[in-house]
Structure 1
Amino acid sequence: MEQIRIGKTLVDYHLVYSSRQKTIELVIDLDSGFTVKAPAGISKEDVAVNLQRKASWIITNLDKMNEVIRNETRKEFVSGEKFLYKGKHYRLKVIQVNEQIVSSLAFTHSKFIAHVPANLPEFDYPRIIQPLFIDFYHEKAEKILNQRARKYLVYFEAKPSLIKVQSLKNKWGNCSKTNQLRFNWRVVMAKMSVIDYVVVHELCHTKHKDHSRAFWNEVQKILPDYEGRKEWLRINGDLLKI
């Protein structure tokens, strides 16, 4: 994954080289995000120069794509809808089984599969399937956030007195005066680099309870590129919901 700074925004893109490509082609879509197709042999520096020339087009079309995604956030929980997990979109497949089945949700690393009773009307899917997704995200967030916290604890002498995943209004994480860390389960929908930023952010609050220069210096020591991750979350945070 490559990055380019356009104004104050860091833009991620996939750079694909092809001997059949004669010119640089820009592709933006919901499935693969932003892809740059370039002729074989062209340098990354020349690609970056070309992207800066087309900065306005890139930002405009990324905004359009994000607007489409925002419009999709009111889910109907029907087959074909896409749901975020660790920064990627996965389709949902709903399978009606029999009237006695207990509804369930599984993730197969390529899609989500929900099993529901055969007599469940489609308009009632959100009532049954949405809580299954919330349980899935909550369970995965518990595992992933604890794993990532353990990875970064080597940078800290004081250890958190608690690490807990829960629903947090308008916050991705919180560090109490007694170093209890709480994380919003929705962050597990973001890509791993952003999850790591949220974890490191709250761990740094075990040293600095405010957002002083000393705090941000601490974050930067661990994540030198934290500003790009922070910016991604600011721009895309409202997409991380169901």
Structure 2
Amino acid sequence: MQSLLRRLISSRPQTLERDVVTLTLEQGQRVDIKRVRDPRAKRIKLSVDERGARLTLPARASLVSGDRFLLEHRQWLLAQLEIYTSHDTLPLLVRETTAALPLRGESVPLLWHEGRYARLSLSEHALHFHAPARASDATLRRALREFYEAEARTDIGRWLPKYLPSLPRAPTRLRLKVMSSQWGSLSPDGSLALDLALVLGRESAFEYVLVHELCHLLHADHSRNFWREVEARFPAWRGEREYFHAEGRKLKGSLRALLSGQATDAT
């Protein structure tokens, strides 16, 4: 027992191992796939998102088994990549070039102005970006993120008073994050996290995600009782879920492109 405890205490935490493998598809395309060995993974998994293709291997899986898995699923991979390349290139934030930005389900005209510091504001008909001539791209992207966060908090502030009276308690904290797959989460301590990309989509979809996570204050699972609470507060939730199926990847990809400065294809 003591030797086991010593091994547990002295063992170093396992880390992810990453490299890139190139797969040639039947049509001749060469695709770079990020290969990740994850000690927490229980099975081989192939996924595609706005950042590209990723092959996840459990700790004991061989590279040969991973290569075989890629070959067996190359048709699925090709189909997913076609979805990604079937849309227009995602937007980038380029000074004096970017003429519109996504906000609340619309493409809002963007006007550029000289200013003492970088800030973004919204008027009745357009967005206005004020920035010094020497402002770096990173400074512009930081100002854009601050603007999106402020607009998201404004929306949440309009909706929360309608739903809080019927809940046992309010969330303990609100965080806006760039999420890879989820749209929101509620931790056991009541901390609420929402994807910042929500403010790019239509308002009703954003409000639905907020209601969804608030209902987890009543039921931590996705039982019938949980969905009954969602239905009572937001009867049109099914339509919003379909909206995310159709537009969700593009929303997430657009936010990543705007905040990272790296253009990728929409999904």
Corresponding residue of 1:72? 90
Does residue 87 of structure 1 match 2:105?
A: yes
Q: SS state of the match for residue 195, structure 1?
A: helix
RMSD of equivalent CA atoms: 2.4
Q: Which residue of 2 aligns with 1:34?
A: none
Alpha-carbon spacing, 1:78–1:232, altered in 2? closer, same or farther (3 Å): farther
TM-score for the superposition, normalised by structure 2:
0.56
Please tell me the residue identity of whatever aligns with 1:208. H
1:58 matched residue in structure 2:
none
Match of 1:48 in 2: none
Q: Per the alignment, do residues 165 and 141 of structure 1 end up closer, same or farther by CA in structure 2, a change over 3 Å counting?
A: farther
Contact 1:92–1:112 (8 Å) recurs in 2: yes
Q: Which residue of 2 aligns with 1:217?
A: 228
Q: What is the correspondence of 1:1-12 to structure 2 with a 5 Å cutoff?
A: none
Partner of 2:159: 148
Give the structure 1 partner of residue 35 of structure 2: none
Which amino acid in the other structure matches residue 175 of structure 2?
V
TM-score, with structure 1 as normaliser: 0.61
Higher-Rg structure is 2
The share of aligned pairs that are identical, in percent, is 24
8 Å CA contact 1:83, 1:90 repeated in 2: yes
Structure 1: distance between partners of 2:93 and 2:87: 15
Residues 1:160 and 2:170 aligned together: yes
Q: Distance in 1 between matches of 2:179 and 2:98?
A: 29
* Equivalent-residue separation in structure 1 for 2:123 and 2:186 (angstroms): 34
The 5 A counterparts of 1:1-242 are 67-68=87-88, 71-96=89-114, 101-119=116-134, 124=136, 126-156=137-167, 158-170=168-180, 171-240=182-251, 241=255, 242=258
* 4+ long deviations beyond 6 Å: none
Deviations 1:48-77 (A, max 9, x none): xxxxxxxxxxxxxxx99x822xx1334435
Superposed CA offset, 1:100-153 (max 9, x none): x32222221321211222356xxx5x3232111100111121222133122122
- Count residues in correspondence: 169
